[in-house]
Amino acid sequence: MRSTPLHILLVCMGNICRSPTAEGVLRAKVAQAGLAARVNIDSAGTHNYHPGSPPDERSQAHALARGYDLSNLRARQITEHDYEKFHVILAMDWDNLALLQDDCPPAHAHKLKLFMSYAADASLGQVVPDPYYGQEAGFERVLDLVEAASAGFIEQFRKMS
């Protein structure tokens, strides 16, 4: 068993839709599983579009309807220190993974992967699509996907512990 908590960073482009939703969902699922003391969760964006802003109102509303409160989260850009601090850095899509790979010091490249790689159901796809310019259904889809990936993450974490 790990003697120190596992630090996980969830990353999308602007850190106002997908990654804060994933942070809120994973944090809630980890707490429900009784693992909150063993897993620390944060989120960031590859771009500094919305520093200090709360998650998109649509993300907050859809998450709250499922019992996830995102209101205390604030957008930030990933920093050089994050690559060292976090044990696992999970991108929401291929573009953000590529940006992380370009920016990440080689010694920490092994920490990078797609969040959806944890989802047990491969038919859900490999990425969490950006709902920002879409319809309300896109925000529901994000929640469905991050709930699936969160469940898979918890299952794998328990096997490793």
Where do the structural domains in the chain lie, given as residue ranges? 6-160
**Greatest extent of the chain over all pairs of C-alpha atoms, in Å:** 44
pLDDT of residue 79: 98
Active site residue 82: no
Active site residue 12: yes
Active site residue 18: yes
pTM above 0.85, yes or no: yes
Q: Give helix 18-32 / helix 136-160 axis angle, nearest 10°.
A: 40
Q: Please report which confidence band the pLDDT of residue 2 belongs to, taking 50, 70 and 90 as the band edges.
A: low
What pLDDT, in 10s, does the model give residues 8-57?
Answer: 999 999 999 999 999 999 999 999 999 999 999 999 999 999 999 999 99
The catalytically annotated residue of 17, 18, 58, 104 is 18
Q: Domain 6-160 - what CATH class?
A: alpha beta
Q: How many residues does the chain have?
A: 161
How many beta carbons lie within 10 A of that of residue 145, not counting itself? 24
pLDDT of residue 118: 98
The catalytically annotated residue of 82, 104, 130, 141 is 130
